[in-house]
Amino acid sequence: MSKRSFGTFVVAALATTLMGSISAQAAGWGSVKGRIVVDGTPPKVAPLVVSKDQYCIDKKPVNEAIVVGKENALVNAVVYLRVATGQKVQVAPSYDAQAKESVVLDNNGCSFHPHITLIRVGQMLDIKNSDPVGHNTNVAVFAFNQTIPSNGQSQIKASTAGALPTPVVCNIHPFMKGYILSQEHPYMAVTGDDGTFEIKDIPAGKHDFQFWHEAGGYLKNVALKEGKTDNRGRAALTIADGKTLDLGDIKVKASSLK
């Protein structure tokens, strides 16, 4: 009886998936871009306590919880397309090559590079250590925690998606902290040194986008060109075929970065 009930269930699930993929046929592709800036004086972050390994102390790693660039640009904010559990989004062929590439996460100067890693489920994560000291890299979302020797390397397949970016830590050097975001699709971006981001070749239509920052969490009640993000830092944006939706400057209140 148990076998049969599960079987029936699988058939039903397949039928829905097929219907889903037909209705999700993209009518072209478009992009979204913008620049995230801090409105007000950004809060100061506490300096890191680096008390272990002379090499790390000499490298003077900094607290990257809030990084602000020129003209109050908010660096390391994350913008990505949000797909509800059980739903799928069509991925443009232009991402085919990327799906086969691995993503590199380097332990360098006793800090994680990049600070925020973006990866698609199925991609390989190459974890490197360019330092002369040994590290361990603990990626909780993949239940991965391995020692990475000096000039050594390990590899793991991105096995699961997470709703939000989750921490990457080194237990040997507790001041080291990074984040990783794993999604079933490639539509995610981290703001650069100038606060800008761009996500290309999104299926035309209306999608939910998530705005997130390490110190601010959900970037909620942030005014966009039309409307604002909701209390989970999300906004529904309409992507048009062949067009780039330019959100311009997106101002995040300094008080929300605490």
Partner 1 sequence: MLSRSTWLVTCVGAIAVAGCSESSPPFRLNMTNVVAKQISLDHQQAIANILGGMFGTPDEPIALPETGLDQRLLAMAAGPVWSDKEGGKHGLYRRHCVHCHGISGDGQGPTAAILNPYPRDYRPGIFKFKSTYTSGEPTLGDLEKTLHDGIPGTAMPSFALLPPDEIRALVEYVKYLSVRGQMEAALENHVAEELDANAKFDPATDPAVQQLIVKDLLGPIVESWNGAKDQVIRPEDGAIPPAERPAGDIAASVKAGRELFFGPKANCVKCHGPTALGDGQQTDYDTWNKANFDFITATNDKISQIDSLRQDLAKATGDEAEQLRKQILEAQAEYGSRSKRIAALLPPRNAIPRNLREGVYRGGRRPIDIFWRVSAGIPGTPMPASGPAAEGAPGTLTQQEIWQLVDYVYSLPFEPASMPQKKPINTEVVSK
Residues that bind partner 1 (CB under 8 A): 1-2, 5-6, 9, 12-13, 16, 40, 43, 49-55, 57, 84-86, 132-134, 136-138, 140, 142-150, 152-157, 159-160, 163-164, 171-172, 174, 221, 232, 253-255, 258
Q: Which is nearer to partner 1, 29 or 188 (CB)?
A: 188
Left, alpha or beta for 45 (phi > 0: left; psi -120 to 50: alpha)? beta
Report the alpha-carbon distance of residue 199 to residue 211 in Å, rounded.
Answer: 13
Q: Which is nearer to partner 1, 16 or 21 (CB)?
A: 16
Give the shortest CB-49-to-partner 1 separation in angstroms.
7
Report the alpha-carbon distance of residue 236 to residue 242 in Å, rounded.
Answer: 19
Give the shortest CB-43-to-partner 1 separation in angstroms.
7
Q: Which is nearer to partner 1, 33 or 234 (CB)?
A: 234
Give the shortest CB-109-to-partner 1 separation in angstroms.
14
Reduce the DSSP state of residue 159 to 3 states and report it.
coil
Q: Which is nearer to partner 1, 225 or 258 (CB)?
A: 258
Q: What is the DSSP string of 133-158?
A: S-EEEEEGGGTEEEEE-TT-EEEEE-
56-65 long-range Cβ contacts below 8 angstroms, 24+ apart: 56/109, 56/110, 56/131, 56/133, 56/173, 56/175, 59/109, 59/110, 59/111, 61/109, 61/110, 61/111, 61/175, 61/176, 62/111, 64/111, 64/115, 64/177, 64/214, 65/177, 65/214, 65/215
Q: Which of 113, 118, 160 is nearest to 137 (CA)?
A: 113
Give the shortest CB-181-to-partner 1 separation in angstroms.
14
Residue 203 Cα to chain centre, angstroms: 19
Give the shortest CB-196-to-partner 1 separation in angstroms.
26
Give the shortest CB-21-to-partner 1 separation in angstroms.
16
Query: Residues near 153 by Cβ (< 8 Å), separated by ≥ 6?
Result: 126, 127, 128, 129
Q: Which is nearer to partner 1, 116 or 169 (CB)?
A: 169
Q: Which is nearer to partner 1, 43 or 69 (CB)?
A: 43
Q: Which is nearer to partner 1, 113 or 253 (CB)?
A: 253
Give the shortest CB-41-to-partner 1 separation in angstroms.
10
